[in-house]
Structure 1
Amino acid sequence: MKDDQPHYSDLIGEILKEYTKTGGMDNLPGAGKPLSEEYLKGDVFQHFQRLAKDSGYKPYWLDLQHQIRDALIALDQDLQNGKKRDADLRLKSINDKIYTYNQQCPPPMQKGSVRLDTLSEAVERWR
């Protein structure tokens, strides 16, 4: 290595090497078995999505989508029952979550912000 080049440290690689030395990679499910043909088809991202889904992983934006839906329904019900207290503040909080959601979710699933006069339509759109 030249003196003018910075030292490179592979932290994850070092952790995996140490884990392997201590036997952490022994007795893994499926160890030594050939990969299925299905596993070798498609791209890496598709495989990740399938494995993550099968393992019960839920992306952050999907949890956020459910939070937004529930908050919109609750706000709409409160307004229909005449409870207007903090409606603007609650709507701002919901719109902040929508902004975060739009940054995380796939582009075709992005949605616009909500106004009090379009709240009922937004509730239907988020169901």
Structure 2
Amino acid sequence: MDKDEYIPPVNDLMGDILRNYEKTGGMENLKGAGKPLSEEYFKGDIFQHFQKVAKDAGYKPHWLKLQHEIRDELQHIATKYAQGLNEDLHFRVTKVNEKILAYNKSCPPPMQKSTVKLESVENALNRWH
């Protein structure tokens, strides 16, 4: 057997899924089929286009989800602290600070925020709103 004749097996899972979908008629009634692409599609770079499509589809980046979780947790901690219910609050602040560090690693640099202390949770909550 010549080495030119040998064709290694290819594992193309996405290609297989699309071919099966096409065989069952799934590609026949797609929205916008047969229509030209809009000029907006060709403006900007690929990343900007991806961001627009993702935003239109309702996608939220991971850091934005973290931002909402942190804000909600800080609100809960601030309420408990104001009521004088301090048990477990130091632990919860530690957990929030871990989320803040994860947030800072994934968000745009101008949006990074510092960690919080239990004594200044009210001020931190104002920064996270």
Give the Cα separation in 2 of the matches to 1:26 and 1:104: 39
Cα distance in 2, alignment partners of residues 42 and 34 from structure 1: 18
Structure with the greater alpha carbon radius of gyration: 2
Q: 2:123 aligns with which of 118, 121, 124?
A: 121
Q: Report the counterpart of residue 53 of structure 1 in structure 2.
A: 55
1:72-109 CA distance string (max 9 Å, x none): 12211211221111111111111122122223322322
Taking structure 1 as the reference length, what is the TM-score of the superposition? 0.85
Matches of 2:92 and 2:84, distance apart in 1:
15
- SS of alignment partner, residue 83 of structure 1: coil
DSSP-derived class of the 2:35 partner: coil
CA distance in 2, matches of 1:13, 1:105: 33
Q: What does the per-residue CA deviation read over 1:51-73, in whole Å, with 9 as the maximum and x for residues that have no partner?
A: 22122222222121111011112
Structure 2 residue runs without a partner (length 5+): none
Q: What is the correspondence of 1:55-94 to structure 2 with a 5 Å cutoff?
A: 55-94=57-96
1:24 aligns to what SS in structure 2? coil
Determine helix, strand or coil for the equivalent of 2:52: helix
Distance 1:8 1:20 in 2: 20
- TM-score of the two chains, using structure 2 as the length reference: 0.84
C-alpha root-mean-square deviation of aligned residues, in Å? 2.2
Aligned partners of 2:124, 2:91: CA distance in 1, in Å?
Answer: 17
Deviation (angstroms), 1:120 = 2.2
Matched, 1:105 2:85: no
Give, in whole Å, the separation in 2 of the partners of 1:83 and 1:125.
23
**Equivalent residues, number:** 126
Unaligned runs of 5+ in 1: none
Which amino acid letter does the alignment assign opposite residue 110 of structure 2? P
Percent sequence identity over matched residues?
54
